[in-house]
Structure formats: C-alpha cells, structure tokens
C-alpha cells in the first residue's frame, strides 16, 4: 500500500533482527536456562525480572508487564512508531526500505542525514587545522604537554577551531550549506549588532567531537588554551545533540564496560582520553556535572557496577551525591572514589601511572555513606558527643536511602564502628523515618500477582468446576498451538479454531489461521504486529512465556481436546433439559419427544 512499508519487507527485517542480539544493545543480559534475563529498562528494579526468549523471539517483564516482539521493544525503548522501529532495525540489518510517500517524514529524515553530513565535515575541518595548520601550533603543544600521542589524537578525532571569526563558516559555505542551517546545528551564531550576518561559535579552542553510541558525530565540545571563560563550551541542543542523553566516549567504552562488568564515570574529556590511552578503556564522562536518568539508563545497557571519580571540588561533590542517588534508583551498585591529593584522573595518571590509578579505583572506592563519613569527620570533632551527633546526622540520610537491606545493615555497622557507638543506636536513628519513596516496587510481586489473577471467567461470581476445567484446557491448547503449527492443524481438525467463547482467544486463533492459510512464516511473535486489541496483546504476552514440558505432549493435547468436547456436550445437554422444561410447560409433547431423542443420543 502507498506510504506503508510492504509486509514482505517487515517480515525480512523481523527475521534478520534476532531479539536477543537487539535487546543486548540496550540491556545487559545473562543466560538463564533457555532464556536470557536482565534488569527491566522500563521500570526501576534491583532484581532482574526482564526475560528474553530467543526461541520465541519475544520479551516480557514479570515486574511491570511490558512485553512483545523485537519491534515492540524498540518502539517502547526509543519511543518510536511502528514504521520508525522497522526502519531503525532495517538500517541495523542493512536492509533497504522503499521510501514512503510522506513529505513531512522525508523532510525530517533529510534534515537529520544532512546534519550528520555537516558534523562529519566540521570534524574533518577541525582535525585538518590541528594537524596541518600553523595557527594550531599552540594547540599541538598543549596536547603534547597533556601527554597525548598522535595515535590517541587520531583515535578521538581531536581538532582545533582557529581564532578567526568565520573560518568554519566560509568552509561550509563553499560546500553549499546555508548559514541558517549551520546556526540550527549550533556551529555559527547570528550577529546581534552591526551588519547582519553570522560568525563561528567555536574559536581558538581544542575541539572534541561528541558521538552517539553508534559512533556518529552529534556535537562538539571546545576547550580554551588560555584563561578565557567559559573554559569548556559544548554544542547547544540541536536535532542531533541532547547532552542529557549522551555520555562522552560511550561508543569506544561500551565493549570494555561489558567485558569488565564495570564503568568508571569521570568529569572531563581529557580524563576519558588519558584513561583510554593508558589502557583503562571502561571510562566515560558525563557532559557537565549534572548526571541524568537517561545517561544512567544508557549505562545500564552494559553494567550495573558504577564507580564515580568526579573532582573533589564543591561542584564535583554535589554532582557525585546527585549521581549516586539517581544511579541507585535505577538499580546500579555505585561506589565513589576520591583521587589522592585532589587530582583529577588525567593528572593523576600522568604523574603516577595507569597501574596506580587502577589500584586506587580497586582499593579506595567507597559507598556513599563511607564517603560522607570521611567528609563529616574532617569537619567535626569525633572526640565529643556533639561531634559524633553531627557526623551521624550528615551520614544517616544516605544510609536511609540504601535500597538493599544487606548493604544498609553493613553501612550501619561501619558507621557505628567508626564513631564508637552501638549498632543498635545507629539503627534506631536510621529507622526513625522511613526511606524516601524513590523506589516504589517493594510490593511489586503482590501487584503482579493481583494483576495476573484478575482473570475471572464469571463476572461477580465463581466459576464452576466444569468451567474451570474448560478454561484450563482452552489455555493449554492455545499455548501448544502457539508453539507448533502441526498442533494448530490437529486442534483445528478436531474441534475447529473457534473452540473458545473468549474473544481474546478467538483473536489469536483467527490470526494463526490466517498465517497458515496464507502460507506465511509461522512465528507467533508476528502476532504482536497485527493485534489491535490491548487485552489480547496482554494475554498473548503471558501465554507465550508458559513453559511447555516435552513429555506426554500428545497425551496433554488429547486430554484438552476431550475436555473441550465433553464440556460442549454438557452445555448442549443443559440446553436440551431447559428446552424440555419449556416444552412441558407449553404441553408440547411432540417437541418434548424430539428433544428427549436428541438428549438420549448425547448421553
């Protein structure tokens, strides 16, 4: 159909997008039996309740109830429409999709692609100036002084923005790009005084390209070579650049973070670059000191183990506190490290070496309560009761907010030991007020159980034993039919596809029948793309995750079919008895005889 992605292309994209591989780019998964589990990216949790099935090509969270196929996951995670999700996965799989006839979408796509093209040209321009131009001599000396090798400069695509007002503007004008487009990308600014025109945003700065997770340049950060302010200048928000969703170096660090099952968060570009140059490659930086929830979710794709190594100044300490709380909320295990002598990672490694920095990370990383205790003990006199009280008052709030009870108990014991107080006294203070409601999933299991049990067949009443048996048989048959097309055909032959009166079940069996009749690939995960009814989708999520024992499968199918048939006979008998009563009341003996004959045959 015009404007839509052809069905055969959707099927090709789905077949080429293994759900385990795709989800692994977003969630850290570990194998558990035949499935994979991890922390759900759609709600906050500490214990994994998110499951991905490679066999069935579906995912399901038993905590929040989200589930579906590979398209459903991408739509939910990246907040995309179905066509957008298909296009993203098609691009990932190298599949070409015919252009749809939608002027607005085509214009948006053209704008994004052109923005990437311009940013790539800008990156190349700055790199060329740094390496080849006389005007960048001071910048080259600065980078050499900071200990960066030519290989590292090339790896991180570092460049230099010349001091002139319009070098980049002239370069891009020659490439055919209008100043208005460059202004939208934050590369030039409009003059506010004098003659109308534009000038370069970045001037006389060492330039650091900022990439997304795919390694595409989405923006830039520039550092001055003198005492000018601001010391660092980043791109503004653009069609590509949103600093709250990005982490500097994540595209180069992702594999190492997975391999080490740990990420180290630092503040600056050069902290990241020096760490990577020294062989410590599981390091990223937040773009500014304000760590965000979106950045935390990005980290969770690769590891739960986080070490924060921010600077020890007031801004760094504030960022550490806020970042710890946010990451703890998301389910990370967070530790904080203070670099000795107040140095940042870049300076420390240049003076003491990578091995010593690794030792500091390994041995000096603390929990937030330990970090706060050290800071408080520097301010107050522990030899006095008043000093102990003030130290405890500063540390206890961070202990209250620890969500893991074992970690909380350990923090109480350590604080008591350091202040020479009884653990009971510290615990009493911690328990005076409940932990803040940052995590609201303590009743998750109860909520889930309640939701899953809200499947009453008789509104306002209790199902009979017969109805209960029929209900279980129908569900078992549907689970088995979803697993194997041959079982579907057997059930269809024995009792038809409309063996249930439940509309959601009929929606599923009708679609399965349509797939088989049209000789399409019998993959139940496809149903998620075709179901419009939300309640049916929820039931499908649950049924697809029911474990099917291999033994006695044929016997189970026969038993379920027999149960359905017997229940149909029971219902017909009850209906015949009811009609016989009505015939008696109407004194219609002829009708009563016919009904009795039918009833006898059924018996």
Residues 5-32 have pLDDT tens digits of 888 788 889 888 999 999 998 999 998 8
The set of residues, in sequence order, having a beta carbon less than 8 Å from that of 275 and lying 6+ positions away, is: 264, 266, 281, 283, 345, 346, 349, 354, 357
The larger pLDDT score, comparing residue 423 to residue 193, is at 423
CATH topology of domain 7-93: DNA Primase; Chain A (3.90.580)
Structure tokens at 347: 């300076």
Pairing of strands 247-248, 263-266: unpaired
How far apart CA 16 and CA 22 sit, in angstroms, is 10
How far apart CA 228 and CA 205 sit, in angstroms, is 10
CATH topology of domain 465-589: DNAb Helicase; Chain A (1.10.860)
Domain with CATH 3.90.580.10 in the chain: 7-93
Domain with CATH 3.90.980.10 in the chain: 104-232
Mean pLDDT of 53-62: 90
Q: 337 near 366, Cβ under 8 Å?
A: yes
Confidence check: pLDDT of 180 > 90: yes
pLDDT tens per residue, range 213-245: 888 999 999 999 988 888 999 999 999 999 888
Least confident of 37-46, 378-387, 494-503, 547-556: 547-556
pLDDT tens per residue, range 302-320: 888 999 987 766 566 767 7
Architecture per CATH, 104-232: Alpha-Beta Complex (3.90)
Q: What predicted TM-score, i.e. pTM, was given to this entire model?
A: 0.66
Q: How far is CA 445 from CA 138, 449, 535, 544, 602, in A?
A: 62, 6, 21, 20, 46
pLDDT tens per residue, range 488-501: 999 999 999 899 98
pLDDT at residue 477 in the model: 93
Mean pLDDT of 38-65: 89
Helices 314-330, 368-379: axis angle to 10 degrees equals: 150
Confidence check: pLDDT of 453 > 60: no
Confidence check: pLDDT of 338 > 80: yes
pLDDT tens per residue, range 462-478: 445 666 788 889 999 99
Confidence check: pLDDT of 448 > 70: no
Domain with CATH 1.10.860 in the chain: 465-589
Confidence bin at 406 (pLDDT 50/70/90): confident
Helix, strand, or coil (residue 201) = coil
* 94 secondary structure, DSSP code: T
Look up the CATH number of domain 370-430: 1.20.50
Look up the CATH number of domain 245-365: 3.40.1360.10
pLDDT at residue 519 in the model: 74
In terms of C-beta density within 10 A (0-12 exposed, 13-18 middle, 19 or more buried), how is residue 372 classed? Answer: buried
Confidence bin at 136 (pLDDT 50/70/90): very high
Confidence check: pLDDT of 177 > 90: yes
How far apart CA 23 and CA 156 sit, in angstroms, is 28
Domain with CATH 3.40.1360.10 in the chain: 245-365
pLDDT tens per residue, range 146-170: 999 999 999 999 999 999 999 999 9
The mean pLDDT of the chain is 86
């Amino acid at each position: 159909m015009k404007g839509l992605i052809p069905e055969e292309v959707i099927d090709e994209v789905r077949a080429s997008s293994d759900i385990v591989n795709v989800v692994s780019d977003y969630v850290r998964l570990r194998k558990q039996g035949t499935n994979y589990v991890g922390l759900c990216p759609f709600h906050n949790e500490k214990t994994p309740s998110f499951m991905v099935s490679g066999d069935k090509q579906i995912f399901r969270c038993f905590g929040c109830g989200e589930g579906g196929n590979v398209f459903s996951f991408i739509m939910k995670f990246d907040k995309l429409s179905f066509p957008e999700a298909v296009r993203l996965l098609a691009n990932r799989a190298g599949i070409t999709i015919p252009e749809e006839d939608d002027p607005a979408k085509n214009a948006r796509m053209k704008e994004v692609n052109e923005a990437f093209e311009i940013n790539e040209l800008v990156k190349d321009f700055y790199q060329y100036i740094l390496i080849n131009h006389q005007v960048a001599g001071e910048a080259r000396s600065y980078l050499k002084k900071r200990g960066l090798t030519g290989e590292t400069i090339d790896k991180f695509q570092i460049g230099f923005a010349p001091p002139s007002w319009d070098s980049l503007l002239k370069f891009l004008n020659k490439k055919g790009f209008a100043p208005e487009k460059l202004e939208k990308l934050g590369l030039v600014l409009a003059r506010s005084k004098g003659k109308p025109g534009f000038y370069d945003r970045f001037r006389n700065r060492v330039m650091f390209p900022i990439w997304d997770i795919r390694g595409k340049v989405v923006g830039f950060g520039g550092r001055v070579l003198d005492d000018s302010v601001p010391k660092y200048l980043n791109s503004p928000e653009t069609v590509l650049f949103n600093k709250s969703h990005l982490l500097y170096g994540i595209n180069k660090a992702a594999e190492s973070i997975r391999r080490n099952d740990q990420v180290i968060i630092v503040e600056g570009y050069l902290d990241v670059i020096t760490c990577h140059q020294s062989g410590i490659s599981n390091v990223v930086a937040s773009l500014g000191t304000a760590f965000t929830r979106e950045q935390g979710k990005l980290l969770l794709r690769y590891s739960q183990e986080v070490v924060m190594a921010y600077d020890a100044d007031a801004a760094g300490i504030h960022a550490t506190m806020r970042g710890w709380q946010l990451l703890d909320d998301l389910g990370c295990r967070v530790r904080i490290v203070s670099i000795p002598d107040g140095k940042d990672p870049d300076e420390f490694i240049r003076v003491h070496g990578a091995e010593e920095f690794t030792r500091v990370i390994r041995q000096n990383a603390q929990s937030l309560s330990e970090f706060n205790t050290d800071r408080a003990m520097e301010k107050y006199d522990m030899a006095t009761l008043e000093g102990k009280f003030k130290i405890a008052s500063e540390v206890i709030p961070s202990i209250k907010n620890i969500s893991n009870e074992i970690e909380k108990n350990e923090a109480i014991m350590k604080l008591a030991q350091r202040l020479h107080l009884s653990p009971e006294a510290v615990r009493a203070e911690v328990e005076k007020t409940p932990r803040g409601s940052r995590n609201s999933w303590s009743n998750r299991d109860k909520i889930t159980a309640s939701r899953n049990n809200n499947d009453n067949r008789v509104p306002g009443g209790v199902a009979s034993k017969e109805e209960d048996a029929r209900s279980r048989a129908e569900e078992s048959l549907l689970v088995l039919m979803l697993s194997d097309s041959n079982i579907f055909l057997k059930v269809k032959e024995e009792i038809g596809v409309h063996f249930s009166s439940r509309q959601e079940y009929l929606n599923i069996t009708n679609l399965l029948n349509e797939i088989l009749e049209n000789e399409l690939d019998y993959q139940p995960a496809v149903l998620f793309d075709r179901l419009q009814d939300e309640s049916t989708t929820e039931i499908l999520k649950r049924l697809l995750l029911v474990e099917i024992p291999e033994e006695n499968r044929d016997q189970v199918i026969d038993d379920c079919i027999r149960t359905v048939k017997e229940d149909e006979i029971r219902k017909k008998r009850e209906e015949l008895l009811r009609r016989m009563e009505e015939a008696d009341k109407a004194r219609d003996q002829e009708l009563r005889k016919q009904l009795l004959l039918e009833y006898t045959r059924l018996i």
